[in-house]
Every structure is written in C-alpha cells, then in structure tokens.
Amino acid sequence: MKISFQGELGSYSHQACCEAFPEAEPLPCSTFEGAMERVKVHEAKYAIIPVENSTYGRVADSYHLLPKSGLFIIKEHFLRVNINLLALPGVAIEEIRSAMSHSVLLGQCRNFLLKHRIRAVSAVDTAGSAKIVAQKKDRTIAALASPLAGQIYGLEVLGQEVEDMDNNTTRFLVMSNKVDEDNMFESQQYMTTIIFQVRNIPAALYKAMGGFATNSVNMVKLESYMVEGTFTSTQFYADLEGHPDDESVKRALEELKYFTSMFKILGVYVADSFRKYNES
C-alpha cells in the first residue's frame, strides 16, 4: 500500500505517514496537488496532507485544495512535531552560522535561533534542507528538521526538540478516492468536515450558524477564504463533532443548508484519540 505526501523522505509528512500507516510504502511528491493526484490516478491508496499546526496556524494551501481535489477525508492524525538542529558529523554548535528549513518550521523555533545567534534561511521544505546540508559539506550550515530526516541523511543532532512550544503538534488529514465505511461503528466518536457558501442575504452566516447552537453541535473549526478571484464570494470550511446521521447534527445541517448556496460534506471519520486526551 502506497501513501503519497508532499516533501522529501524524512519530512514530517513522511513521519506522519509512518505513524498512521506503519506498513505502507511512502510516496514523496513535490507538491500537495501532486500528492492528491497520485490518489486520483490510483498510484497511491491515500494522501496524507497537513492542514494546521498548533504553533503556526493553518496550512493555507491545503484548505484551498481540499474542496477541489475530488477526494474524501477518511482519517485524521495528530503528529507531535519535534524539531532537531541537524549538522554534518563532528560539527559543534558553535560553528553553525545559519540554519535552513521551511518558513513554517523556522517560525516555530525563533527563541533557539536567537539564543545561539543562528541566522534563519528559508527553504522549500524541512527534509529537503537536511538533504542539502548533507550534500553541501559546509560545516557552518545546519538544518531544522525531523529526527527521521537526520537518520536518513546521516546528520548528527546538535539540538534536540528545539521548538519554542513543548506541545507543538500538526494535524494531518488522510484523503481517499472513496468514502471509508469499513471502520464505522456506533460506539465511536466521529468528526464531520464540510464546506459551504452562504446566500447573499443579510446576516446569512449568523443565521446559518444558529442551528449548531440550538442543536448543541460543537463546531471545533471554522475557516473562511475567498474563491473565484473576487472579494464577494467567500467559502467556509468547518469541522464538527458528530456524525451526519446523529439527530442533532442532521437538524443543524438542515438549517445550515437553508442559508447556503453551496454545501458539501468532505468527510466523515473517526476522531483521533489525541482529541480525547487533550480536552480542556
């Protein structure tokens, strides 16, 4: 079974793939679109895509691509992001002048970089940075990447878990060509992900959201973004606790649909155990 993801081998998406599907064969892709396309053409069974990080926020590209992908969300996975400073074997941290990584990761370890007076250098991705450091043989350059990247590219750890926040976590969505009904059981807690556009009437969003409050349905995430290149057409992405067949969720969605010009369910899937252990 192949799982596609964006990035080089050793990326955090690769690590998430290994955790979620330990027996799968990883299939690295250069872009998010490419990872999704591999599933659409049946070269991979699933694609695993990052959508948000607890420190940095949402991965904007993913939210724009999900509605157009033609794929379904069948699973979520939360990855604890441990960031290591990786360098050539035998190099001391005092020799490091700059550290390469994706801009998202650089923003997650500012304090460490300032403390050691290391200049941040933005790169295409995290594991790709580790690969470059291994190839360039420059003792003054390091990479900020996963422990897995260090193992793959033969680098040594100069700083372990250097992220500013000790709860740094990324949420991934697993995308499939078809809805997965094999693992649906009444006893499980579900998440439902939807997208919608509200009708062009006064207070449409306020009215559309009312059904979730009156039916006690917990909406844990709501994102908005422009579509069709205009400032008047706004699309919303939402994660709900519950299954569409639950009576309360069904009533809330019926009320929502009345005030929308477009509505679609992107996925119904079992809630990751991370949610249960991190409830406030």
Locate the domains of the chain by residue range. Answer: 2-81+169-176, 84-159, 190-277
Per-residue pLDDT tens listing for the chain (280 residues): 999 999 899 999 999 999 999 999 999 999 999 999 999 999 999 999 999 888 777 787 787 788 888 999 999 999 999 999 999 999 999 999 999 998 888 988 999 999 999 999 999 889 999 999 999 999 999 999 999 999 999 999 999 999 988 888 999 999 999 887 665 555 589 999 999 998 877 888 888 899 999 999 999 999 887 776 666 667 899 999 999 999 999 999 999 999 998 999 999 999 998 887 766 5
Query: CA-based diameter of the chain, in Å?
Result: 65
Contact (Cβ atoms closer than 8 angstroms) between residue 170 and residue 53: yes
CATH 3.30.70.260 fits 190-277, yes or no: yes
* Main-chain dihedrals φ then ψ at residue 85, nearest 5 degrees: -90, 115
Look at the domain 2-81+169-176 and name its fold: D-Maltodextrin-Binding Protein; domain 2 (3.40.190)
Q: Which of 72, 78, 126, 170 is catalytic?
A: 170
Instruction: Name residue, tokens 């250069």.
Output: 30
CATH 3.40.50.1980 fits 84-159, yes or no: no
Q: How many CA atoms are closer than 13 Å to the CA of 87, on its beta-carbon side?
A: 20
Do 84-159 and 190-277 share a fold?
Answer: no
In single-letter form, the type of residue at position 203 comes to A
Q: Which of 32, 78, 172, 259 is catalytic?
A: 172
Contact (Cβ atoms closer than 8 angstroms) between residue 12 and residue 125: no
172 a catalytic residue: yes
Instruction: Name residue, tokens 């050793």.
Output: 10
- Give the residues across from 226 on adjacent strands: 234
Please tell me the distance from the alpha carbon of residue 136 to that of residue 100, in angstroms, as a whole number. Answer: 12
| DSSP H or E stretch at residue 268 | strand 260-270
214 a catalytic residue: no
